[in-house]
Amino acid sequence: MKVAVAGTGYVGLVTAVCLAEIGHTVICVDVDQEKIKMLQSLKSPIYEKNLEEFMKKNKDHIFYTLDYKKAYQEAEIIFIGVGTPERYDGSANLDYVYHVCEQIKGSVTADKTIVIKSTVPIGTNDEVEKFLNKESKIHFSVASNPEFLAQGTAVHDTLYASRIVVGTNDEKSKKIMEQLYLPLTKEPYNVPYLSMNRRSAEMVKYASNDFLALKISYINEIANFCEKVGANIDEVTRGMSYDSRIGNQFLKAGIGYGGSCFPKDTKALHWLGKSLDCELKTVNATIEINRIQKLKLAQKVKEDFPNLKGKKAAVLGLSFKPGTDDLREAPSLVNIDFLLDYGVNVSVYDPVALDKFKSSYKRKIKYCTTIDEAIQDCDFAFIMTEWKEIKEYDLNHYRKYMKTPFLYDGRNCYSIEAAKKAKIKYYSIGRPS
Protein backbone atom coordinates (compact mmCIF):
# COMPACT_ATOMS: atom_id res chain seq x y z
CA MET A 1 0.00 0.00 0.00
CA LYS A 2 1.05 3.61 -0.51
CA VAL A 3 1.34 5.42 2.80
CA ALA A 4 2.18 9.04 3.66
CA VAL A 5 3.42 9.93 7.16
CA ALA A 6 3.22 13.51 8.41
CA GLY A 7 5.98 14.22 10.94
CA THR A 8 9.44 12.67 11.24
CA GLY A 9 9.94 12.64 15.00
CA TYR A 10 10.04 9.50 17.15
CA VAL A 11 6.52 8.43 16.32
CA GLY A 12 6.36 9.41 12.66
CA LEU A 13 9.79 8.26 11.54
CA VAL A 14 9.74 4.95 13.41
CA THR A 15 6.23 4.23 12.08
CA ALA A 16 7.32 5.04 8.53
CA VAL A 17 10.44 2.89 8.65
CA CYS A 18 8.58 -0.08 10.14
CA LEU A 19 5.77 0.17 7.57
CA ALA A 20 8.41 0.11 4.84
CA GLU A 21 10.00 -2.91 6.51
CA ILE A 22 6.76 -4.92 6.18
CA GLY A 23 6.40 -4.12 2.49
CA HIS A 24 4.57 -0.81 2.11
CA THR A 25 5.78 2.19 0.10
CA VAL A 26 6.09 5.14 2.45
CA ILE A 27 6.71 8.83 1.94
CA CYS A 28 7.59 10.98 4.95
CA VAL A 29 6.53 14.63 5.05
CA ASP A 30 8.07 17.35 7.18
CA VAL A 31 8.28 21.14 7.14
CA ASP A 32 11.93 21.20 8.25
CA GLN A 33 14.14 21.40 5.16
CA GLU A 34 17.34 20.54 7.00
CA LYS A 35 15.73 17.49 8.56
CA ILE A 36 14.49 16.29 5.17
CA LYS A 37 17.98 16.70 3.69
CA MET A 38 19.39 14.71 6.56
CA LEU A 39 16.85 11.95 6.08
CA GLN A 40 17.47 11.86 2.34
CA SER A 41 21.14 11.20 3.11
CA LEU A 42 19.91 8.27 5.26
CA LYS A 43 20.87 9.91 8.53
CA SER A 44 18.42 9.88 11.41
CA PRO A 45 17.77 13.18 13.23
CA ILE A 46 17.16 11.23 16.45
CA TYR A 47 19.29 8.69 18.28
CA GLU A 48 17.40 5.41 18.23
CA LYS A 49 18.76 1.88 18.11
CA ASN A 50 18.52 0.21 14.64
CA LEU A 51 16.67 3.15 13.09
CA GLU A 52 19.36 4.18 10.59
CA GLU A 53 20.00 0.52 9.82
CA PHE A 54 16.36 0.05 8.80
CA MET A 55 16.33 3.35 6.90
CA LYS A 56 19.20 2.11 4.75
CA LYS A 57 17.77 -1.38 4.41
CA ASN A 58 14.45 -0.01 3.09
CA LYS A 59 15.80 2.95 1.12
CA ASP A 60 13.93 1.83 -2.01
CA HIS A 61 10.60 1.82 -0.18
CA ILE A 62 10.76 4.97 1.93
CA PHE A 63 11.12 8.55 0.72
CA TYR A 64 11.35 11.99 2.36
CA THR A 65 9.86 15.23 1.06
CA LEU A 66 8.70 18.76 1.78
CA ASP A 67 6.06 18.46 -0.96
CA TYR A 68 3.06 17.51 1.14
CA LYS A 69 0.56 18.09 -1.67
CA LYS A 70 2.01 15.36 -3.89
CA ALA A 71 2.60 13.03 -0.95
CA TYR A 72 -0.95 13.26 0.34
CA GLN A 73 -2.51 13.11 -3.12
CA GLU A 74 -0.72 9.87 -4.04
CA ALA A 75 -1.15 8.07 -0.72
CA GLU A 76 -3.93 5.60 0.03
CA ILE A 77 -3.50 6.12 3.78
CA ILE A 78 -2.15 9.20 5.55
CA PHE A 79 -0.67 8.88 9.04
CA ILE A 80 -0.47 11.91 11.30
CA GLY A 81 2.47 11.53 13.69
CA VAL A 82 3.21 15.12 14.69
CA GLY A 83 3.80 16.38 18.21
CA THR A 84 1.01 17.20 20.65
CA PRO A 85 2.98 19.12 23.31
CA GLU A 86 1.36 20.21 26.53
CA ARG A 87 0.07 23.72 26.92
CA TYR A 88 0.76 25.82 29.98
CA ASP A 89 -2.36 24.47 31.70
CA GLY A 90 -1.43 20.84 30.98
CA SER A 91 -3.86 20.31 28.10
CA ALA A 92 -2.66 18.87 24.78
CA ASN A 93 -1.80 21.32 22.01
CA LEU A 94 -3.42 20.00 18.83
CA ASP A 95 -2.32 22.84 16.55
CA TYR A 96 0.12 20.66 14.62
CA VAL A 97 -2.48 17.96 14.08
CA TYR A 98 -5.00 20.43 12.66
CA HIS A 99 -2.34 22.13 10.54
CA VAL A 100 -1.66 18.81 8.83
CA CYS A 101 -5.40 18.27 8.43
CA GLU A 102 -5.70 21.62 6.66
CA GLN A 103 -2.88 20.63 4.31
CA ILE A 104 -4.51 17.28 3.58
CA LYS A 105 -7.88 18.85 2.96
CA GLY A 106 -6.36 21.29 0.47
CA SER A 107 -4.29 18.65 -1.33
CA VAL A 108 -6.35 15.56 -2.10
CA THR A 109 -9.05 14.91 -4.69
CA ALA A 110 -10.11 11.39 -3.71
CA ASP A 111 -11.44 9.71 -0.57
CA LYS A 112 -8.74 9.03 2.03
CA THR A 113 -8.25 7.19 5.29
CA ILE A 114 -6.51 9.36 7.87
CA VAL A 115 -4.77 7.64 10.77
CA ILE A 116 -4.07 9.57 13.96
CA LYS A 117 -0.86 8.13 15.41
CA SER A 118 -0.18 11.12 17.66
CA THR A 119 -1.35 10.91 21.25
CA VAL A 120 -4.54 12.98 21.41
CA PRO A 121 -7.31 13.54 23.97
CA ILE A 122 -10.35 11.29 23.87
CA GLY A 123 -12.76 12.53 21.22
CA THR A 124 -10.11 14.14 19.02
CA ASN A 125 -10.54 11.61 16.19
CA ASP A 126 -14.25 12.44 16.05
CA GLU A 127 -13.48 16.16 15.87
CA VAL A 128 -10.79 15.65 13.21
CA GLU A 129 -13.22 13.67 11.03
CA LYS A 130 -15.82 16.44 11.34
CA PHE A 131 -13.21 19.05 10.46
CA LEU A 132 -12.00 17.16 7.39
CA ASN A 133 -15.46 16.42 6.03
CA LYS A 134 -16.94 19.86 6.64
CA GLU A 135 -17.83 21.43 3.27
CA SER A 136 -15.81 18.74 1.48
CA LYS A 137 -16.80 16.99 -1.73
CA ILE A 138 -14.70 13.96 -0.87
CA HIS A 139 -14.97 11.69 2.15
CA PHE A 140 -12.39 11.27 4.90
CA SER A 141 -12.43 8.29 7.26
CA VAL A 142 -10.41 8.67 10.44
CA ALA A 143 -8.83 5.85 12.43
CA SER A 144 -7.15 5.99 15.82
CA ASN A 145 -3.91 3.98 16.00
CA PRO A 146 -1.96 4.91 19.17
CA GLU A 147 1.68 3.92 19.53
CA PHE A 148 3.18 2.05 22.47
CA LEU A 149 6.88 2.30 21.65
CA ALA A 150 9.57 2.96 24.22
CA GLN A 151 12.44 5.25 23.28
CA GLY A 152 15.65 3.29 22.93
CA THR A 153 13.78 0.21 21.66
CA ALA A 154 11.25 1.92 19.39
CA VAL A 155 11.90 -0.08 16.21
CA HIS A 156 11.66 -3.41 18.01
CA ASP A 157 8.62 -2.24 19.96
CA THR A 158 6.83 -1.41 16.70
CA LEU A 159 7.67 -4.57 14.78
CA TYR A 160 7.26 -6.91 17.74
CA ALA A 161 4.62 -4.92 19.57
CA SER A 162 2.71 -6.20 22.57
CA ARG A 163 -0.41 -5.30 20.58
CA ILE A 164 -1.68 -3.18 17.71
CA VAL A 165 -4.67 -1.07 18.76
CA VAL A 166 -6.89 0.35 16.02
CA GLY A 167 -10.05 2.34 16.59
CA THR A 168 -12.51 2.81 13.73
CA ASN A 169 -16.14 3.85 13.41
CA ASP A 170 -16.78 2.59 9.86
CA GLU A 171 -16.27 -0.68 7.98
CA LYS A 172 -14.16 0.82 5.17
CA SER A 173 -11.38 2.18 7.37
CA LYS A 174 -11.59 -0.94 9.55
CA LYS A 175 -10.83 -3.19 6.57
CA ILE A 176 -8.09 -0.88 5.27
CA MET A 177 -6.30 -0.90 8.63
CA GLU A 178 -6.59 -4.68 8.87
CA GLN A 179 -5.00 -4.98 5.43
CA LEU A 180 -2.26 -2.51 6.32
CA TYR A 181 -1.17 -4.39 9.42
CA LEU A 182 -1.78 -7.93 8.15
CA PRO A 183 1.99 -8.66 7.74
CA LEU A 184 2.61 -7.86 11.42
CA THR A 185 -0.05 -10.31 12.58
CA LYS A 186 1.76 -13.20 10.85
CA GLU A 187 5.16 -14.87 11.25
CA PRO A 188 7.73 -13.82 12.32
CA TYR A 189 6.01 -10.98 14.21
CA ASN A 190 2.71 -12.50 15.42
CA VAL A 191 1.49 -9.23 16.93
CA PRO A 192 -2.03 -9.32 18.44
CA TYR A 193 -4.40 -7.01 16.56
CA LEU A 194 -7.13 -5.32 18.59
CA SER A 195 -10.02 -3.59 16.82
CA MET A 196 -12.34 -1.27 18.75
CA ASN A 197 -14.13 2.06 18.50
CA ARG A 198 -12.10 5.24 18.22
CA ARG A 199 -12.68 6.62 21.70
CA SER A 200 -11.71 3.33 23.28
CA ALA A 201 -8.48 3.29 21.26
CA GLU A 202 -7.69 6.84 22.36
CA MET A 203 -8.38 5.87 25.96
CA VAL A 204 -6.17 2.76 25.79
CA LYS A 205 -3.16 4.96 25.13
CA TYR A 206 -3.75 7.30 28.06
CA ALA A 207 -4.84 4.54 30.44
CA SER A 208 -1.71 2.51 29.63
CA ASN A 209 0.81 5.32 29.92
CA ASP A 210 -0.73 6.79 33.04
CA PHE A 211 -0.85 3.39 34.73
CA LEU A 212 2.87 2.87 34.09
CA ALA A 213 3.63 6.38 35.36
CA LEU A 214 1.52 5.64 38.43
CA LYS A 215 3.48 2.44 39.01
CA ILE A 216 6.77 4.37 38.88
CA SER A 217 5.56 7.04 41.28
CA TYR A 218 4.15 4.43 43.63
CA ILE A 219 7.42 2.52 43.89
CA ASN A 220 9.33 5.77 44.38
CA GLU A 221 7.08 6.64 47.31
CA ILE A 222 7.64 3.18 48.74
CA ALA A 223 11.40 3.66 48.30
CA ASN A 224 11.26 6.92 50.21
CA PHE A 225 9.32 5.18 52.96
CA CYS A 226 11.90 2.36 53.02
CA GLU A 227 14.54 4.93 53.94
CA LYS A 228 12.46 5.98 56.95
CA VAL A 229 11.87 2.46 58.28
CA GLY A 230 15.21 0.85 57.39
CA ALA A 231 13.97 -1.43 54.61
CA ASN A 232 15.80 -2.00 51.30
CA ILE A 233 13.73 -1.17 48.21
CA ASP A 234 15.66 -3.70 46.10
CA GLU A 235 14.61 -6.50 48.42
CA VAL A 236 11.06 -5.16 48.65
CA THR A 237 10.58 -5.01 44.87
CA ARG A 238 12.15 -8.45 44.46
CA GLY A 239 9.55 -9.80 46.85
CA MET A 240 6.77 -7.97 45.02
CA SER A 241 7.87 -9.08 41.55
CA TYR A 242 7.07 -12.74 42.17
CA ASP A 243 3.39 -11.86 42.33
CA SER A 244 2.09 -12.35 38.77
CA ARG A 245 -0.62 -9.76 39.43
CA ILE A 246 2.10 -7.13 39.94
CA GLY A 247 4.92 -8.30 37.66
CA ASN A 248 8.52 -7.12 37.64
CA GLN A 249 8.36 -4.17 35.25
CA PHE A 250 8.47 -0.49 36.29
CA LEU A 251 9.41 -1.35 39.86
CA LYS A 252 12.86 0.23 39.80
CA ALA A 253 13.14 3.09 42.27
CA GLY A 254 14.77 6.31 41.17
CA ILE A 255 14.37 10.03 40.72
CA GLY A 256 11.26 9.93 38.60
CA TYR A 257 10.16 9.58 35.02
CA GLY A 258 10.76 11.96 32.12
CA GLY A 259 10.59 11.86 28.34
CA SER A 260 7.98 12.81 25.80
CA CYS A 261 5.13 10.57 26.96
CA PHE A 262 4.53 10.06 30.69
CA PRO A 263 4.79 13.71 31.80
CA LYS A 264 2.66 14.99 28.94
CA ASP A 265 0.08 12.21 29.02
CA THR A 266 -0.50 12.30 32.76
CA LYS A 267 -1.04 16.06 32.67
CA ALA A 268 -3.30 15.83 29.63
CA LEU A 269 -5.55 13.17 31.16
CA HIS A 270 -5.66 15.03 34.46
CA TRP A 271 -6.66 18.23 32.66
CA LEU A 272 -9.30 16.43 30.61
CA GLY A 273 -10.73 14.82 33.75
CA LYS A 274 -11.04 18.18 35.49
CA SER A 275 -12.68 19.71 32.42
CA LEU A 276 -15.32 16.96 32.55
CA ASP A 277 -15.81 17.33 36.32
CA CYS A 278 -14.26 13.89 36.84
CA GLU A 279 -11.00 14.46 38.69
CA LEU A 280 -8.56 11.56 38.42
CA LYS A 281 -6.98 11.70 41.87
CA THR A 282 -4.48 8.90 41.30
CA VAL A 283 -3.20 10.62 38.15
CA ASN A 284 -2.90 13.92 40.00
CA ALA A 285 -0.93 12.18 42.77
CA THR A 286 1.35 10.59 40.18
CA ILE A 287 2.21 13.99 38.73
CA GLU A 288 2.91 15.55 42.13
CA ILE A 289 4.99 12.63 43.40
CA ASN A 290 7.14 12.71 40.27
CA ARG A 291 7.66 16.47 40.51
CA ILE A 292 8.97 16.12 44.06
CA GLN A 293 10.99 12.97 43.36
CA LYS A 294 13.09 14.69 40.71
CA LEU A 295 14.71 16.81 43.42
CA LYS A 296 15.31 13.94 45.85
CA LEU A 297 19.09 14.10 45.39
CA ALA A 298 19.09 17.88 45.66
CA GLN A 299 17.39 17.64 49.05
CA LYS A 300 19.97 15.14 50.26
CA VAL A 301 22.98 17.13 49.07
CA LYS A 302 21.64 20.19 50.90
CA GLU A 303 21.72 18.17 54.12
CA ASP A 304 25.33 17.12 53.53
CA PHE A 305 26.53 20.47 52.16
CA PRO A 306 24.56 23.29 53.87
CA ASN A 307 26.61 25.89 51.97
CA LEU A 308 26.76 24.88 48.31
CA LYS A 309 28.12 28.13 46.90
CA GLY A 310 31.49 27.59 45.21
CA LYS A 311 31.25 23.80 45.36
CA LYS A 312 32.04 21.73 42.30
CA ALA A 313 29.66 19.01 41.12
CA ALA A 314 29.37 16.53 38.27
CA VAL A 315 26.09 15.47 36.70
CA LEU A 316 26.44 12.06 35.05
CA GLY A 317 23.74 11.40 32.50
CA LEU A 318 21.57 14.00 30.78
CA SER A 319 18.94 12.11 28.76
CA PHE A 320 15.80 11.00 30.58
CA LYS A 321 16.72 7.33 30.06
CA PRO A 322 19.56 5.31 28.47
CA GLY A 323 19.36 4.45 24.78
CA THR A 324 18.11 7.87 23.68
CA ASP A 325 19.29 11.47 23.37
CA ASP A 326 15.85 12.79 24.35
CA LEU A 327 16.08 15.50 27.02
CA ARG A 328 12.39 16.27 27.37
CA GLU A 329 11.40 16.40 31.06
CA ALA A 330 14.74 14.77 32.00
CA PRO A 331 15.47 14.95 35.75
CA SER A 332 18.95 16.25 34.88
CA LEU A 333 17.48 19.58 33.76
CA VAL A 334 15.85 20.61 37.03
CA ASN A 335 18.84 19.38 39.02
CA ILE A 336 21.39 21.30 36.96
CA ASP A 337 19.31 24.45 37.36
CA PHE A 338 19.09 23.79 41.11
CA LEU A 339 22.86 23.47 41.43
CA LEU A 340 23.56 26.57 39.36
CA ASP A 341 21.05 28.60 41.34
CA TYR A 342 22.95 27.70 44.52
CA GLY A 343 26.26 28.81 43.01
CA VAL A 344 27.67 25.35 42.25
CA ASN A 345 30.18 24.91 39.42
CA VAL A 346 28.72 22.13 37.27
CA SER A 347 30.34 19.72 34.83
CA VAL A 348 28.22 17.24 32.84
CA TYR A 349 28.73 13.96 31.01
CA ASP A 350 26.50 11.88 28.74
CA PRO A 351 27.67 9.36 26.10
CA VAL A 352 24.96 10.35 23.59
CA ALA A 353 23.02 13.50 24.53
CA LEU A 354 25.91 15.91 25.16
CA ASP A 355 25.74 17.77 21.83
CA LYS A 356 21.95 18.01 21.91
CA PHE A 357 22.05 19.39 25.44
CA LYS A 358 24.80 21.85 24.56
CA SER A 359 22.84 23.23 21.61
CA SER A 360 19.77 24.01 23.73
CA TYR A 361 21.11 24.87 27.19
CA LYS A 362 22.23 28.46 27.62
CA ARG A 363 23.61 28.60 31.16
CA LYS A 364 27.33 28.17 31.78
CA ILE A 365 28.47 24.64 32.55
CA LYS A 366 31.44 22.45 31.63
CA TYR A 367 30.89 19.73 29.02
CA CYS A 368 32.97 16.57 29.41
CA THR A 369 33.47 13.57 27.14
CA THR A 370 34.56 11.17 29.89
CA ILE A 371 33.41 10.45 33.42
CA ASP A 372 36.98 10.90 34.65
CA GLU A 373 37.02 14.45 33.30
CA ALA A 374 33.56 15.28 34.66
CA ILE A 375 34.29 14.25 38.27
CA GLN A 376 37.81 15.73 38.44
CA ASP A 377 38.20 17.65 41.74
CA CYS A 378 34.45 17.54 42.40
CA ASP A 379 32.96 17.79 45.86
CA PHE A 380 30.07 15.55 44.85
CA ALA A 381 28.43 13.92 41.83
CA PHE A 382 24.85 13.16 40.77
CA ILE A 383 23.90 10.12 38.65
CA MET A 384 20.84 10.96 36.56
CA THR A 385 20.82 8.29 33.82
CA GLU A 386 21.73 4.62 34.14
CA TRP A 387 23.91 4.44 31.03
CA LYS A 388 26.03 1.30 30.66
CA GLU A 389 29.13 3.49 30.73
CA ILE A 390 28.13 4.75 34.16
CA LYS A 391 26.98 1.41 35.56
CA GLU A 392 30.26 -0.24 34.55
CA TYR A 393 32.48 2.62 35.73
CA ASP A 394 35.18 1.69 38.25
CA LEU A 395 33.95 2.95 41.62
CA ASN A 396 37.52 3.40 42.80
CA HIS A 397 37.85 6.23 40.29
CA TYR A 398 35.40 8.35 42.26
CA ARG A 399 37.79 8.33 45.20
CA LYS A 400 40.78 8.74 42.87
CA TYR A 401 39.57 11.79 40.93
CA MET A 402 37.10 13.58 43.21
CA LYS A 403 38.03 16.07 45.90
CA THR A 404 35.55 14.37 48.22
CA PRO A 405 33.89 11.17 46.91
CA PHE A 406 30.26 11.98 47.70
CA LEU A 407 28.10 10.16 45.15
CA TYR A 408 24.32 10.65 44.91
CA ASP A 409 22.87 7.94 42.70
CA GLY A 410 19.39 8.62 41.36
CA ARG A 411 19.26 5.34 39.45
CA ASN A 412 20.71 2.85 41.96
CA CYS A 413 23.47 1.86 39.56
CA TYR A 414 25.80 0.31 42.14
CA SER A 415 25.47 -2.10 45.01
CA ILE A 416 25.80 -0.83 48.56
CA GLU A 417 28.57 -3.37 49.18
CA ALA A 418 30.61 -2.21 46.17
CA ALA A 419 30.30 1.42 47.28
CA LYS A 420 31.50 0.57 50.78
CA LYS A 421 34.42 -1.41 49.40
CA ALA A 422 35.42 1.56 47.23
CA LYS A 423 35.26 3.80 50.33
CA ILE A 424 32.98 6.40 48.81
CA LYS A 425 30.12 8.23 50.50
CA TYR A 426 27.20 6.73 48.58
CA TYR A 427 23.54 7.69 48.68
CA SER A 428 20.94 5.88 46.57
CA ILE A 429 17.15 5.74 46.50
CA GLY A 430 15.37 3.60 49.09
CA ARG A 431 18.44 1.67 50.22
CA PRO A 432 20.50 1.84 53.45
CA SER A 433 23.83 3.64 53.06
CA distance 141 to 66: 24
Compute the C-alpha angle 305/306/312, nearest 5°. 45
Q: How far is CA 246 from CA 76, 236, 240, 252, 383, in A?
A: 42, 13, 7, 13, 28
3-state secondary structure at position 213: helix
3-state secondary structure at position 315: strand
Q: Which residues are within 8 A (CB) of 195 and not within 5 positions of it... i.e. 6 or more apart?
A: 166, 167, 168, 174, 177, 178
With b meaning 16 or more CB within 10 Å and e meaning fewer, what string describes 19-52? bbbbebbbbbbbbeeebbeebeeeebbbbbeebe
CA distance 325 to 329: 12
Letter for the amino acid at 155?
A: V
Q: At what angle do helices 262-275 and 281-293 cross, to 10 degrees?
A: 140
H-state helical runs in 123-280: 124-133, 154-159, 171-181, 198-229, 233-241, 262-275
Closest of 119, 9, 113, 25 to residue 63, by C-alpha: 25
Residue 188: cis peptide before it, omega within 30 degrees of 0: yes
Active site residues: 261
- How many Å is the Cα radius of gyration of the chain? 23
